[in-house]
Structure 1
């Protein structure tokens, strides 16, 4: 199976500190992957490079069936290519309803005249209702986003990213601050999303990672330390020494 994203030998240093050190990583077009590792392992920098926020000093990042280089693209172009990122803290329009948040996120023409002339179509509303059902907020469409629970805001932001029809979704610590029931529901949401796109989840909660039931990549000092099932990597002595033993 061809890879959707291929990262080859990337390195980047900040003030002499190598945040990423000859890192190689790949993921298929419909795959769920968890990335774990201690603080400072390079997880955030890795996502910054994939989304164009940080440029590596060396290496290659290729994308899609045409193997185009992401390193030649701006952040906005990379987003249009179909790479969506969710940061740890949810960012939604709190004064707007769930419905309005999802409508604003739909993948429509963003030109200035198109935006001014935009009117909600039945198709758009139908798509929003599908998304609301997928993220578990179908009965909250008219609720103001600011009064949702922390977990519901996380789901809404994931829904807003899904509205843009990404081919790759990067999700940073989605379980943080959630109740057990919310974490379980988030596992289901991410697993369903990965049936039709690539999903990379950066997470510290090992119970959450176990429930994802996916391949795990362990980063340490900017490199891949181990890769495989969670059971496989947690038996790796190097992983125990640098991460799990802490």
Structure 2
């Protein structure tokens, strides 16, 4: 594995409040990484910084083999470079079918020669992505009638259709049934075999099923990193995030 994303000494303040405080972390390719932490820990700001929605006050964010400086790129340039983001609330075209949503999201051909020589069947490619996210039987359904979990899958599929190298996913398990969470776990694990996938999540059981490296953020800093069992045994993580048994009983 090699580092795809390198965040080094990044700080971001809002009206004097440090949302991110001298944060450093790296994400490999391929890798599945979970980021957890209490509310206000800086998880959303971290994603905003990586995707160019917010600019850091200091520090560097490097991406890819050429160590491109993401802080010097626009949101559109970052997306074209292969970084995709899924927000908490699914955003799909509800009046369009699943197939139409996925077809619209497909990555554009790399160059004009591909168009002339390969002429890929976009519907077939979209159908293949639908199968990846468990929607192969729902291709002709309008997105608006899908369940909440299926809409989440469709949006993940729309991002996968863009062929990202780094996929940022914000609380994918929120509002899902147990069966949907299991399917989502398998989907993310599979996706991370060929790319970097970073999952922001509060559901600890969902994180446990991912069986991946975990980074704990607190007050904009990396507090602990390692397996879930490792970080959950860290006294600092227990104090600021998990709480002690006697506190939970109070």
Identify the match of residue 129 of structure 1 among 110, 114, 127: 127
CA RMSD, Structure 1 to Structure 2 (Å) = 1.5
Identify the match of residue 139 of structure 1 among 137, 140, 143: 137
Q: What residue in structure 1 maps to residue 216 of structure 2?
A: 218
Cα offset, 1:85, TM superposition: 0.1
Cα offset, 1:239, TM superposition: 0.2
SS at match of 2:2: coil
Normalising by structure 2, we get a TM-score of: 0.93
Q: Which runs of 5+ in 2 are unaligned?
A: 113-118, 244-249
How many pairs were matched up?
Answer: 237
CA distance in 1, matches of 2:108, 2:240: 46
Q: What residue in structure 2 maps to residue 118 of structure 1?
A: none
CA distance in 2, matches of 1:56, 1:183: 34
CA distance in 2, matches of 1:105, 1:223: 34
Q: What residue in structure 2 maps to residue 117 of structure 1?
A: none
Q: What residue in structure 2 maps to residue 28 of structure 1?
A: 28
1:174 matched to 2:172 = yes
1:238 matched to 2:216 = no
Cα offset, 1:2, TM superposition: 2.7
CA distance in 2, matches of 1:171, 1:66: 24
- Counterparts of 1:201-212 in structure 2 under 5 Å? 201-212=199-210
Cα deviations by residue, 1:58-98 (Å, 9 ceiling, x for unpaired): 00000100111001100000000000000000000000000
Normalising by structure 1, we get a TM-score of: 0.94
Q: What residue in structure 2 maps to residue 89 of structure 1?
A: 89
Q: Which runs of 5+ in 1 are unaligned?
A: 115-120
